[in-house]
Amino acid sequence: MLRRLGEAACSCEAMPRFFIMYRVDVITLFPQIFDGYLTQSLLAKAIANGLVELCVHNLRDWSVDLKHHKIDDRPYGGGPGMLICVEPVIRCVEAVQAMHSTPGKVLLLTPQGEQLRQQRVENLAQSNRLILLCGRYEGFDQRVTDILQPLELSIGDYVLNGGEVAAMVLVDATVRMIPGVLGDEQSSWDDSFSRGNRLLEFPQYTRPPEFRGYTVPDVLLSGNHQEIAKWRQQQSLAKTELRRNDLFDKNIGFPTKE
Q: Catalytic amino acids?
A: 111, 138, 176, 191
Q: Which of 109, 121, 124, 130 binds ligand ADE (CB under 6 A)?
A: 109
Q: For the segment 113-142, give every residue that binds ligand ADE (CB under 6 A).
A: 135
Count how many Cα atoms sit within 13 Å of the Cα of residue 18 in the half-sphere of its side chain: 0
Where does this chain touch ligand ADE (CB under 6 A) — which range of 12-20, 51-59, 143-151, 160-168? 160-168
C-beta closer to ligand ADE: residue 30 or 248: 30
Q: Which stretch binds ligand ADE (CB under 6 A): 125-133, 162-170, 182-190, 248-256?
A: 162-170
- The only residue of 58, 63, 154, 174 in contact with ligand ADE, by rule CB under 6 A: 154
Q: Which of 28, 110, 197, 236 binds ligand ADE (CB under 6 A)?
A: 110
The site map against ligand ADE for 66-105 (x = CB under 6 A) is ----------------------------------------
φ, ψ dihedrals at 72, nearest 5°: -125, 165
State the Cα–Cα distance between residues 121 and 92, nearest whole angstrom.
Answer: 25
Q: Which is nearer to ligand ADE, 134 or 220 (CB)?
A: 134
159 counts as binding ligand ADE under rule CB under 6 A:
yes
Nearer to ligand ADE among residue 112 and residue 234 (C-beta): 112
Residues lying near ligand ADE in the complex (CB under 6 A) = 109-111, 135, 154-156, 158-160, 162-163, 166
